[in-house]
Structure 1
Amino acid sequence: MWVTVGVALGAVGTVGQALALAHLLGDVFTGAGPTGAAVAWVAAAVAVRGLGGWVRAAAAQRCAAEIKLELRTRLLRAAAHSSGYDGRDRRSGEISTLLTRGLDALDPYLVGYLPQVLVAALVPPAVVAAMLPHDLLGATILLVTLPLIPVFGALVGLHTRDATARQWAALAHLGGHFLDALRGLPTLRTFGRAEAQEGIVAGVADAHRRATLRTLRITFLSTLVLDTVATLSLALIAVPVGLRLLHGSLDLTTALTVLLLAPEAYLPLRALGSRFHAGTEGMATAREAFALLDAQDTPDPAPHPRRPLSGGDRGHAPRIRFENVTVRLPGRTEPVLKDVSFTVEPGERVALTGPSGAGKSTLLAVLLGLVRPDEGRVLVGGRDLASLDPEAWRHCIAWVPQRPYLFDRTVADNIRLGDPDAGDEDVVRAARAAAAHDFVTALPDGYATRLGARGMGLSAGQRQRVALARAFLRDAPLVLLDEPTAGLDADSESAVLAAGERLMTGRTVLVVAHRARLLEGADRRLDVRDGLVREREVAR
Structure 2
Amino acid sequence: MRRFLVASVAAGVVVSGSAIAAAVLLSALVAGLVTDPGSRSPAHWWPVLAGLAAVWGLRAGATWLQARLSQREASAAIADLAGQVLEAVTARDPRRVAADRDAATTVVLDGLDGLRPYFTAYLPALLQAAILTPAALAVMAWYDWSAAAIVLVALPLIPIFMVLIGLATRDRSAAALAAMTTLRARMLDLIAGIPTLRALGRADGPTERVAELGAAHRRSAMATLRIAFLSTLVLELLATLGVALVAVSVGLRLVYGHVELLPGLTALLLAPDVFWPLRRVGVEFHAAADGKTAADAAFALIDDDTRHAPAGGAARVAAAGAPIRLTGLWVDGRDGPAPAGLSGTIEPGRLTVLTGPNGAGKSTTLQVLAGLIAPDAGTVTVAGVPVGELELRAWWAQLAWLPQRPVLVPGTVTENLELFGPLNDPDAACAAADFDAVLGELPRGAATLLGRGGVGLSLGQRQRLGLARALGSPAPVLLLDEPTAHLDVAAEARVLAALVRRARAGDTVLVVGHRHSVLEHADTVIEVDHVRV
Q: Is the shorter-chain TM-score for this pair beyond 0.5, marking a shared fold?
A: yes
Q: Note the C-alpha offset of 1:152.
A: 0.9
Q: Deviations over 1:166-189 (max 9, x none)?
A: 112222333344445445544454
Q: Which of residues 165, 168, 173 in structure 1 aligns to 2:182?
A: 173
| CA distance in structure 1 between the partners assigned to 2:55 and 2:160 by the alignment | 31
**TM-score of the superposed pair, with normalisation by structure 2:** 0.88
| CA distance in structure 2 between the partners assigned to 1:477 and 1:47 by the alignment | 69
What residue is the counterpart of 1:162 in the other structure? 171
Alignment check: 8 A CA contact 1:352 1:513 kept: yes
Question: What is the number of equivalent residue pairs in this alignment?
Answer: 522
What residue is the counterpart of 2:80 in the other structure? 70
Runs of 5+ consecutive residues of structure 2 not aligned to the other structure: 1-5
RMSD: 3.0
What residue is the counterpart of 1:44 in the other structure? 54
Q: Which of residues 346, 362, 365 in structure 2 aligns to 1:360?
A: 362
| CA distance in structure 2 between the partners assigned to 1:393 and 1:304 by the alignment | 10
What residue is the counterpart of 1:27 in the other structure? 32
Q: Which of residues 18, 27, 42 in structure 2 aligns to 1:13?
A: 18
What residue is the counterpart of 1:534 in the other structure? 529
| CA distance in structure 2 between the partners assigned to 1:409 and 1:58 by the alignment | 36
| CA distance in structure 1 between the partners assigned to 2:306 and 2:200 by the alignment | 40
What residue is the counterpart of 2:323 in the other structure? 319
**TM-score of the superposed pair, with normalisation by structure 1:** 0.86
- Structure 2 counterpart of 1:320, which letter? I
What residue is the counterpart of 1:468 in the other structure? 467
| CA distance in structure 2 between the partners assigned to 1:244 and 1:456 by the alignment | 79
| CA distance in structure 2 between the partners assigned to 1:427 and 1:190 by the alignment | 36
Alignment check: 8 A CA contact 1:160 1:215 kept: yes
Greater displacement, 219-228 / 29-38: 29-38
Alignment check: 8 A CA contact 1:7 1:118 kept: yes
Matched, 1:510 2:505: no
DSSP-derived class of the 1:70 partner: helix
What residue is the counterpart of 1:530 in the other structure? none
| CA distance in structure 1 between the partners assigned to 2:463 and 2:347 by the alignment | 27
Q: Deviations over 1:39-59 (max 9, x none)?
A: 334333323332332222222
Q: Note the C-alpha offset of 1:502.
A: 4.4
What residue is the counterpart of 2:484 in the other structure? 485
Q: Note the C-alpha offset of 1:341.
A: 3.6
Alignment check: 8 A CA contact 1:525 1:535 kept: no
What residue is the counterpart of 2:433 in the other structure? 434
Matched, 1:244 2:249: no
| CA distance in structure 2 between the partners assigned to 1:447 and 1:333 by the alignment | 42
- Structure 1 counterpart of 2:413, which letter? V
Q: Which of residues 202, 214, 218 in structure 2 aligns to 1:205?
A: 214
DSSP-derived class of the 1:17 partner: helix
Give the 3 Å change call, closer, same or farther, for CA 143–367 of structure 1 in structure 2. Answer: same
Matched, 1:122 2:128: no
| CA distance in structure 2 between the partners assigned to 1:504 and 1:370 by the alignment | 24
Alignment check: 8 A CA contact 1:350 1:523 kept: yes
Q: Deviations over 1:8-46 (max 9, x none)?
A: 111111111222222222233336264334433433332
DSSP-derived class of the 2:353 partner: strand
What residue is the counterpart of 1:61 in the other structure? 71
| CA distance in structure 2 between the partners assigned to 1:46 and 1:269 by the alignment | 21
| CA distance in structure 1 between the partners assigned to 2:485 and 2:191 by the alignment | 23
| CA distance in structure 2 between the partners assigned to 1:336 and 1:205 by the alignment | 39
Q: Deviations over 1:249-304 (max 9, x none)?
A: 12222221221111210111111100111111111122222333334455845377
Q: Deviations over 1:335-362 (max 9, x none)?
A: 3333444433444444333332332211
- Structure 1 counterpart of 2:275, which letter? Y
DSSP-derived class of the 2:287 partner: helix
- Structure 1 counterpart of 2:403, which letter? P
Q: Note the C-alpha offset of 1:222.
A: 0.9
Runs of 5+ consecutive residues of structure 1 not aligned to the other structure: 528-532
- Structure 1 counterpart of 2:15, which letter? G
Give the 3 Å change call, closer, same or farther, for CA 101–469 of structure 1 in structure 2. Answer: same
| CA distance in structure 2 between the partners assigned to 1:307 and 1:255 by the alignment | 77
